Structure 1
Amino acid sequence: MSDTAPDLVVAVLNCGSSSIKFALFDASAGLQALPRRPWWGGKVLGIGGPAPRLQTQDGTDRPLPLGDAAPYHDALAAILAALRERLGSTPLQAVAHRVVHGGAAHAEPVRVDAGVLAELRSYIPLAPLHQPFALEAMEALLQLHPTLPQVACFDTAFHRSLPQVEQMLPLPYSAWERGLRRYGFHGLSYEYQSLVLPERHGAQASGRCIVAHLGSGASLCALQGLRSVATTMGFSALDGLMMGTRCGALDPGAVLYLMEIEGLSLHDVGQLLYHQSGLLGVSGRSAEPRELLAHEADDPRCAAALALFVRRIVREIGALVAVLGGLDLLVFTAGIGEHQAEIRERVVQGLGFLGASLDAAANAAHAPVISAAQSTVRVAVEPANEEWVAARHALRVLAATPGAA
């Protein structure tokens, strides 16, 4: 990485409840030649905790004192200061934000203003782990730098290609009319796969493809013609696969029971489903598969959590295969999908009925293609790159905005 700042730079922010990831992309050569790796970036960890830190990709790792009154705002100010120091006199062209929920109104990225912010606040109940923090960052930047273009990039937008039968919930039709529907999430991740898979897999990528985004949040997306045709997350980011701390698909009767018979409040149920379930809840030890794998031989709950995690993935892949009418390509991405060979092996073992099998050495090496020569399904590993997709969207929105910087 050159120490000299590029002529044109776009920043991307990915804001969570206790962390903010940031990346700078060299936009000097324009949209079509935007490098896939950031020129510089980093993250602030531990926001709201006792020991927040600033880490950057060039090796910085230092404590970051934040005030008690508005630690998130202070963290953003610290990031902006780090960006200014790194960029010198080079101005930011725009800031792109990953926004989890765009609702029914947004099928494309949008320039942020006060009206957009107000609208997006209404979706906070649908994505409480992420939505409020992205909006807080946008609002803070509007106050600090009102002329700096900001672009909201929505995780739900990629799934607007879902057929109506995949969007509808089996509730009274008036719910559909009010906007209660299956939206789907992790769309920036799946959009990246739709762009890069044809480069590596050719025409096979345009066939019957399932991408498994397996991280602390997890979902599957069925692609056909590189478009989303079915996905496991629905109205909220609680649906579908079992996750690190989230339950995934759950019988609504269990929620009614928890509230009516066990007396849990609405807040208590929300905390249980979002923060105390999934791998952490079942194992009682950790939300991280790596740690559970290290203890499954001597801890039955760790073994049970891993078995349930894999079973839910296999079961949902089977359902998506039925929708697609078969499977040509299975792609693993995100933290677990890219780095946990044992989880990939167990999932593919469960798909043996499809004729899927792995090359053990390729899987252990996290190779781009990990299926065995005789496998009837190509199995691949592809890194996630949501930040690059967001940076592309920001440049595209700027180009379409009259008078934009």
Structure 2
Amino acid sequence: MTDRRDPDRPDSRSPHSRARAVLALNAGSSSIKFGLFTQGGGGALVRLARGIVEEAGPEPRLAIQSGLGATAQERRLPAGAGTDAVLEALLATVDDRLGGTPLTAVGHRVVHGGRDFDGPAVVDADILSAIDRLTPLAPLHQPRSVEPMRIVAALRPGLRQVACFDTAFHHHLAPPVSRYAIPRAYEDAGIRKYGFHGLSYEFVAGRLAEIAPDLSAGRTVVAHLGNGASLCAMRNGRSVDTTMGFSALDGLVMGTRCGALDPGVVLHLQTAHGLSVSEVEDLLYRRSGLLGVSGLSGDMRVLAGSEDARAREAVDLFAFRVARETAALASTLAGLDALVFTGGIGEHDASVRAEICRRLEWLGLACDPARNARGDTRIDAAGSRVAVLVVPTDEESVIARYAMELGGGRKALAQA
């Protein structure tokens, strides 16, 4: 008899049926990426499925793919369906794929953990309130982290939730790296460099230790380049400096965010152009970056295919800033042994990688055109004094690991 069971769905005869299953949610501005995981032999994570819920457009779309990429499923939700309906549909789909194996935890990416959270935390009413109070530090991102937690709590009151913070990887940063040149009273009130993209950097650091332990122990700059973009200087897989600071606006040029900006520009926008605080916030978060410079799009793929000179100028500015800030982080590290590209642009755009590498040739860095075009793991040329790698990131697996580890309900808070 032919076995028609889904090979990625646990059943009563499979070791997965005795394992705990967790769902990792990574909420963006208009979509939610997710990964469904269970435990394999020795407690290792096994990805059962991955996918995305796209909320933009008239009809939200739920797309799910098996862990091996063998099967796909797509579902359109009714027009106007809110995030609550979207998550309810996602949880129902997850239940179906688990085939009776219980979902024991949901992990969430949270952009800002402030001064208190130095690691993941099991979500309860107090933790949720503490996360919500950090919204002024990340007004574009934090509400999108909090909303799914509240909805899941209402839909599945007994389901454990774990918050995983992007700032935690950089939590140990100390002066002078973490300090701004403002009166100490404001630093005492929490105005300091926090850094972001920590879940991505944590994954890349672990992966680098597996594939190139000698480089992992050295002086490395990881470039997380996507719609949001930043760099992290690492030594022994540990953050020692990063380009994002107090907010996710700082550092590199991004899809719609400005990156580092003379604070006098903000004052000028308010005093000379009459912009309100909310208008300045909208300008810097949603109408700047690649979109603002090109006047066309914040999507690097669109700009790469455009013949408009402004598109080329936006890409040039992006590469210039990445190269300049890489050199600055090399100063923090007192040298550079490896440059690692990750994120949507970093992993998939060979031309941007090539331009950044070209601008860093004075550091002894040389990119091999053929390796770069193929997207090999190592793309440095023979004789390059700096290793250049492409390492795909996987934030959802880091979230899932923490959700598994906190099965006993431990809260992880810094002791201030």
Give the distance between the partners of 1:293 and 1:23, measured in 2 at CA.
30
Task: In structure 2, give the amino acid aligned to 1:53.
Answer: R
CA distance in 2, matches of 1:122, 1:274: 20
Is structure 2 residue 68 aligned with structure 1 residue 63?
A: no
The residue correspondences of 1:26-37 to structure 2 (distance < 5 A) are 26-29=38-41, 31=43, 33-35=44-46
1:75 aligns with 2:86: yes
1:107 is paired with a residue of what secondary structure? coil
* 1:247-326 paired onto structure 2 within 5 Å: 247-295=258-306, 298-326=307-335
How many Å separate the matches in 1 of 2:91 and 2:22?
Answer: 13
- 1:341-390 CA distance string (max 9 Å, x none): 00000000000111101111110000000000110000000001111111
Q: Contact between 1:9 and 1:28, CA under 8 Å: does it hold in 2? A: no
Cα offset for 1:161?
A: 2.6
1:191-230 mapped onto 2 (5 Å cutoff): 191-230=202-241
Which residue in the other structure is 2:34 paired with? Answer: 22
Q: Distance in 2 between matches of 1:201 and 1:208?
A: 12
Question: In the alignment, residue 244 of structure 2 is paired with which amino acid?
Answer: M
Which range is displaced more, 178-187 or 158-167? 158-167
Deviation at 1:46, TM superposition (A): 2.5
Give the secondary-structure state (helix, strand or coil) at the position aligned to 2:177: helix
Q: Distance in 2 between matches of 1:336 and 1:3?
A: 30
Partner Cα distance (2:9, 2:258) in 1: 46
CA distance in 1 between counterparts of 2:105 and 2:245 reads: 31
Shift of 1:3: 3.6
Write the distance in 2 (CA, Å) between the matches of 1:209 and 1:189.
Answer: 15
1:130 corresponding residue in structure 2: 141
TM-score, normalized by length of structure 1?
0.94
Stretches of structure 2 lacking an aligned partner (at least 5 in a row): 1-5, 11-15, 66-70, 412-416
Whether the aligned pair in 1 keeps the contact of 2:59 and 2:79 (CA below 8 Å) is: no
Alignment size in residue pairs? 394
1:162 paired residue number: 173
Other-structure match for 1:13: 25
Structural RMSD (CA): 1.5
| Within-5 A mapping of 1:302-381 | 302-381=311-390
Whole-angstrom CA distance in 2 between matches of 1:377 and 1:279: 28
- Would you say the 8 A contact 2:225–2:346 is kept in 1? yes
Name the counterpart of 1:53: 61
3-state secondary structure, aligned to 1:244: coil
Question: Does 262-271 or 241-250 show the bigger shift?
Answer: 262-271
Q: Which amino acid aligns with 2:374?
A: A
- Residue deviations 1:113-154 (CA, integer Å, cap 9, x gap): 000011111111222222112211111111222221111000
Secondary structure (helix, strand or coil) at the match of 1:264 reads: coil
Change (3 A) 1:256 1:387: same
What's the CA shift for 1:17? 2.6
Return the offset for 1:41: 2.3
Contact 1:112–1:150 under 8 Å retained in 2: yes
Distance 1:50 1:142, change over 3 A: same
Distance (Å, rounded) in 2 between the aligned partners of 1:304 and 1:17: 26
Counterpart of 2:185 in structure 1 is 174
Give the distance between the partners of 2:148 and 2:79, measured in 1 at CA: 15
Matching of residue 388 in structure 1 with residue 401 in structure 2: no
1:294-328, CA deviations, whole angstroms, 9 ceiling, x for partnerless residues? Answer: 22xx4221111011111110110110011111100
CA deviation after TM superposition for structure 1 residue 175, in Å: 0.8
Deviations 1:189-248 (A, max 9, x none): 000111110211122211100000000000000001210000000000000000000000
Query: Is this contact kept in 2: 1:232–1:240, CA < 8 A?
Result: yes
Q: Which amino acid aligns with 1:14?
A: N
Q: Quick one: which of 110, 121, 138 aligns to 2:132?
A: 121
Aligned-pair identity (%): 49
Q: How many angstroms apart in 2 are the aligned matches of 1:17 and 1:292?
A: 21
Change (3 A) 1:139 1:272: same
Q: CA separation in 1, counterparts of 2:108 and 2:160? A: 11
Q: Is the 8 A contact 1:16 1:129 kept in 2?
A: no
Structure 2 length-normalised TM: 0.92
- Inter-CA distance 120–213: structure 2 relative to 1 (3 Å threshold): same
